[in-house]
Amino acid sequence: MIVDLNTFLGHYPFRRLRFTTAGDMVAHLDAHGIEAALVSPTHAFFYRDAHRGNEELLEAVGPFPGRLFAVGMVNPAYAGWERDLRWLAEQGRVKAIALAPEHHAYRLADDRGQAALQQIAELKLPVVLTQRLEDRRQRHHWDIADDLKVDDVVTAANVPTLRLVLLNWLGLPADKLLAAGLRGRCLIDFARMSVVMSKDVPKLIEALGPESIGFGSHMPFDYTAAALVKQSNVLEVLPDVAEQIAWKNADRFLGLGLSDGGR
Amino acid sequence: MPVVSRRRFLSTTAGLGAGLGAVAAAGGGALAAQVEKSAKESSSDLRGLPAGWRTMKKLDAHNHVMQGVHKPGADWSAVERTVEAAKILGIDTLYCSRPLTGGVMASIEAVRDANDSVLAAMKRYPDVIAGYCFVQPGNGKDALEEIDRCIDAGMIGIKLYNQFKYSDPAVFPVAEKCIELKIPFLGHSAYLTDPKTKEAQPRTSNARDFGELATRYPELLLILGHINGGGDWEWAIRTLRDFPTVYLDTSGSVLEDDTIDLCVRELGHRRLLFATDLTMEGGVGKILGAKLTPEQREDIFWRNFQGILDRRPK
């Protein structure tokens, strides 16, 4: 079984994506032998009111229980976000809450960011931080969001009970994450990392434990097969942790219920 | 498939004891045997990948040796990791260069030094590493002599970085030398749209610069490097429609869906050369994930580049 942590649903303003609907995403998962996906709301990055993106995503994934698990997003720089966050938690239909400080024009270290991190922690939901949607060297001139920095991860890690899901990251220094107390508190997908060659994945496993890594493809932005090659290499060179990385870590960290025959 | 043991794989990381105790202790099993088994038995293949993908022949047309491994006491670990990754991924040959980056107008001595490290890697791994000669066109006659030296030593082509735009007349003698020797000219490329990156690399060539060079020299074996190396790849592909003699390699750290498919739709698959530029797993994955016939995939993985190599005098 494979659970893809790093997937997005919706249109992207700067490039045509090959699929934008939940039905097409499920067909794509089926074609690639992927059981389930944690789905982030692309529109919520761009809408003034991010919560409208949540509503769209929940409506889209509704028909696919056990296959598509929603991530909610809140914008603490926007009116009514606390109510939206409580609603998302009470509904129990999202597995994590994403923050997009670059797109929503605040900082995790400022009052708004701190309030969001604290409240997400109080609700015992993990926070999702996506480093980038696409490479900055090809940015559309309206796309002014920079990549998130390691300091943003450390800022979030400073909220003691908060658990972090880190999507689409590269250049995460294992020692910094360890010093920030993230061992056992984070789940990192490998979409932009390597298993062989520069060996980002083995290095993170060494520092943070095999429970810290999960499968991620960054679909539909990126080729899913690239992540499957990495998972194949995990099977070949790190077989004892392959199942953890493929799905068990995601299941446990996010409470997906897949090991209980959740589908 | 050469043997890469799991113990050896783990030993080339920073230690990998604590988090992987059982895995490290398991070592000794021949990874190559497992890989071959995987290729033969679809049960250990992941369902979303073509069966037997590891054993498909692959020539990586754009890779690097970025360390000065020709020097006494050199640290070979990065090269070793690259070769190990090639074996695991079933890449037969890595065509490597060592460009001097950062826009540096390097002296001929620095250029020779860079090429010497590739020659050292070729000598150490003759079955895996082949070389491109890095050239800085501003070195004039010395640059042309350096091409002769490297080709005589067994290199297969030349690699340019971003010291000059390829539409610059300083590059023309280098292009003419490539035509004379029937060797490929691989060029760093990007259509950069990010102001900060553009400022840092003002002389990076884009597809139009390649087009201008190709128009001037239609017989030149010109390869636009890393279509996914950062920059607007859709713009590059659209531009290359007007310049049918330009090849492009599939490498780069960007793994964006539809890149390879769009290349095939717009340019045909015969101009595409598989490459990774050190993004090795993703580079293979892109080709496996694109909607290609088995024959098209083979052509991209190796046959198209082999056709370029076969043009050189025997």
Q: What is the pLDDT along chain A (263 residues), one digit of tens a residue?
A: 999 999 999 999 999 999 999 999 999 999 999 999 999 999 999 999 999 999 999 999 999 999 999 999 999 999 999 999 999 999 999 999 999 999 999 999 999 999 999 999 999 999 999 999 999 999 999 999 999 999 999 999 999 999 999 999 999 999 999 999 999 999 999 999 999 999 999 999 999 999 999 999 999 999 999 999 999 999 999 999 999 999 999 999 999 999 876 44
How far is it, in rounded angstroms, from Cα A196 to Cα A231? 11
Nearest Cβ partner for A224 among B6, B18, B289: B289
Backbone angles phi, psi at B116, to 5 degrees: -60, -30
- Confidence label for B33 from pLDDT (cuts 50, 70 and 90): very low
A227 at B interface, C-beta within 8 A: yes
Locate the domains of chain B by residue range: 54-310
Q: What is the rounded average pLDDT of the residues B10-29?
A: 43
Residue B28 has pLDDT above 70, yes or no: no
Whether CATH 3.20.20.140 fits A3-254: yes
Contact criterion met (CB below 8 Å) for B281 and A226: yes
Q: Do A138 and B232 touch (CB under 8 A)?
A: yes
Which residues are paired to B222 by β-bridges? B185
CATH tag, B54-310: 3.20.20.140
A210 at B interface, C-beta within 8 A: yes
A175 at B interface, C-beta within 8 A: no
Largest CA distance in chain A: 50
Q: How far is CA B258 from CA A221, B27, B192, B265, B304, in A?
A: 9, 38, 19, 10, 20
Nearest Cβ partner for A135 among B38, B46, B230: B230
Q: Which residues contact B35 (CB under 8 A, 6 or more apart)?
A: A236, B1, B54, B88, B90
> Which A positions 51-110 lie with beta carbon below 8 A of chain B?
none
Which of B4, B23, B42, B300 is best to mutate for the A interface (most A CBs within 10 A)?
A: B23
Which of B194, B228, B281, B287 is best to mutate for the A interface (most A CBs within 10 A)?
A: B281
List chain A residues with CB under 8 Å of B288.
225, 228-229
Q: What is the rounded average pLDDT of the residues B244-273?
A: 98
Residue B40 has pLDDT above 50, yes or no: no
Chain segment B61-72, per-residue pLDDT in tens: 999 999 999 999
Contact criterion met (CB below 8 Å) for A251 and A203: no
Q: Do A136 and B197 touch (CB under 8 A)?
A: yes
Record the pTM.
0.94
Q: Say what the pLDDT of residue B169 is.
A: 97
Tokens of B100: 């001097």
Tokens of B121: 């890697």
Q: How far is CA A246 from CA A98, A241, B20, B293, in A?
A: 22, 9, 16, 28
The proportion of chain B whose per-residue pLDDT surpasses 90, expressed as a percent, equals 83
Locate the domains of chain A by residue range: 3-254
